[in-house]
C-alpha cells in the first residue's frame, strides 16, 4: 500500500519500513465489508487491506500497476477460494474491468509502497543508490528521462507544484547545468547535487532531496491525474449504497479527494464570476466526520500514518456527475513523451 514521502518519515529518507496497512481499522469501518459483497482494492500493494476484507467474507478484485505486486499476490489469490481476482492495471482503468453499478465498495490507498522504496533498483529512494527510475508500472518515462530532458522552467513547475519545494528554480537550473556535463542516471547522483544546491540546515526535519523525489515520483506516475480519473470511475462503478474510501498521504492528493466529495455532495462553492450551474442531486454523502486521521498509538508504531487522511462517501442512486479536469484541482504540467 501507500507510503508517504513527507516530513519526518523513515521511508521518506529511504530507511527500511515493515509494511503495515495504514488506518486499517478505520478503512474497514468505513467499508463495512460483509459476505456476498464485491469490493475493489484499487491499490493492492502487499494486500494488507485485501486480506482484511477477505477475512470479513467479501470478495475482492485487486488492481495494481506494478507487475511485482500482482505476482507476489498470487499465493493469496490461490488461497482465497476464488474470492480474490488480481488485475495488472492502473486503478484509473477500473471501468475496463468491472461493470457500472456493480461494486459494494472501493478502497484506494494513494502513493508508493514501502516494498518499492526498499528495492534500490526501482529508484524511489535516494538513501539507496540505484537507477533514477521511479516507475510503478516499470514502463514509460523514467525520472532520469524527466531530469535529463525537461526544460528548467518545466522542472521548476514540477518541483514547485508537485513537491512544494521552495528552492525549485535554483535546483532546476543546477540540474540543467550539470546534465550538460554528466546526464543523470542514479538516485545518489541527483540527491548529491540537491544537497550541494540546497544544503541541509540543523533545523530541517527532512533530507533536502525529499520534496524533489516526491515531485518526480508523482509526475512520472501521473499520480494526481490517475487519482482524479479513478474517482470519476468509482462513482460509476459503485452501486447505490456502495462505499468509496480513499486514504491519502499528501496535501495535493487530499485536496483532490476533498474537492470530489464536495462537488458530488453539492457542497462545492461555485465562483460568483461564472454562470449559475444547474443543481444536481448528490451522488455521495459523507461517512462520518472527515478527514479521519491516525491516532497517537498508530503513529508511534507506524510513522507513515502521521500524514494519512481518510475520506469516505456513501453512493446514492443519483446518476454520476460530469467529469473533467476543471472540476478537480489537478495541476496542468507539461507532458514529456516517451
Extract the annotated binding site for S-adenosyl-L-methionine. Answer: 47-49, 64, 91, 109, 116
* 252/153 Cα distance (integer angstroms): 21
Binding residues: 47-49, 64, 91, 109, 116
Long-range (24+ apart) CB contacts under 8 A made by 147-156 are 147/175, 147/179, 147/184, 147/190, 147/216, 148/179, 148/183, 148/184, 149/336, 150/334, 150/336, 151/176, 151/334, 152/176, 154/333, 154/334, 154/336
Q: Which of 241, 236, 219 is nearest to 323 (CA)?
A: 236
Question: Residues 111, 5: contact at Cβ < 8 Å?
Answer: yes
> Which set of grid coordinates corresponds to residue 285?
454523502
* 198/12 Cα distance (integer angstroms): 17
DSSP helix/strand/coil, 320: coil
* 173/135 Cα distance (integer angstroms): 24
C-alpha dist (Å) from residue 279 to 93, 267, 274, 317, 338: 29, 11, 14, 16, 42
> Which set of grid coordinates corresponds to residue 20?
503495515
> Which set of grid coordinates corresponds to residue 143?
525520472
CA 150 to centroid of chain Cα atoms: 23
> Which set of grid coordinates corresponds to residue 123?
529508484
* 312/306 Cα distance (integer angstroms): 18
For the chain, what's the residue count? 338
Amino acid at each position: 500500500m501507500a507510503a508517504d514521502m513527507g516530513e519526518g518519515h523513515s521511508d521518506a529518507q529511504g530507511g527500511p519500513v515493515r509494511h503495515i496497512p495504514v488506518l486499517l481499522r478505520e478503512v474497514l469501518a468505513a467499508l463495512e465489508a460483509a459476505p456476498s459483497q464485491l469490493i475493489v482494492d484499487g491499490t493492492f500493494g502487499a494486500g494488507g487491506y485485501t486480506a482484511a476484507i477477505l477475512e470479513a467474507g467479501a470478495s475482492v478484485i485487486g488492481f495494481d500497476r506494478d507487475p511485482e505486486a500482482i505476482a507476489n499476490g498470487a499465493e493469496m489469490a490461490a488461497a482465497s477460494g476464488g474470492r480474490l481476482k488480481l488485475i495488472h492495471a492502473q486503478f484509473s482503468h477500473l471501468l475496463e474491468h468491472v461493470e457500472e453499478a456493480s461494486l459494494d465498495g472501493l478502497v484506494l490507498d494513494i502513493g508508493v509502497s514501502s516494498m518499492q522504496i526498499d528495492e534500490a533498483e526501482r529508484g524511489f529512494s535516494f538513501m539507496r543508490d540505484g537507477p533514477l527510475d521511479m516507475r510503478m508500472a516499470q514502463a514509460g518515462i523514467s525520472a532520469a528521462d524527466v531530469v535529463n530532458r525537461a526544460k528548467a522552467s518545466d522542472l521548476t513547475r514540477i518541483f514547485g507544484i508537485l513537491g512544494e519545494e521552495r528552492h525549485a528554480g535554483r535546483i532546476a537550473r543546477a540540474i540543467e547545468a550539470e546534465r550538460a556535463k554528466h546526464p543523470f542516471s542514479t538516485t545518489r547522483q541527483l540527491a548529491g547535487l540537491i544537497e550541494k544546491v540546497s544544503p541541509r540546515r540543523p533545523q530541517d526535519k527532512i533530507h533536502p532531496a525529499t520534496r524533489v523525489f516526491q515531485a518526480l515520483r508523482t509526475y512520472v506516475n501521473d499520480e494526481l491525474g490517475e487519482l482524479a480519473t479513478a474517482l470519476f470511475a468509482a462513482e460509476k462503478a459503485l452501486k447505490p449504497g456502495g462505499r468509496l474510501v480513499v486514504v491519502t498521504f499528501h496535501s495535493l492528493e487530499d485536496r483532490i479527494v476533498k474537492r470530489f466529495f464536495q462537488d458530488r455532495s453539492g457542497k462545492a462553492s461555485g465562483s460568483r464570476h461564472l454562470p449559475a450551474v444547474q443543481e444536481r442531486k448528490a451522488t455521495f454523502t459523507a461517512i462520518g466526520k472527515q478527514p479521519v486521521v491516525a491516532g497517537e498509538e498508530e503513529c508511534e508504531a507506524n510513522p507513515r500514518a502521521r500524514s494519512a487522511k481518510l475520506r469516505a462517501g456513501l453512493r446514492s442512486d443519483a446518476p454520476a456527475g460530469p467529469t473533467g479536469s476543471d472540476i478537480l484541482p489537478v495541476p496542468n504540467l507539461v507532458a514529456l513523451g516517451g
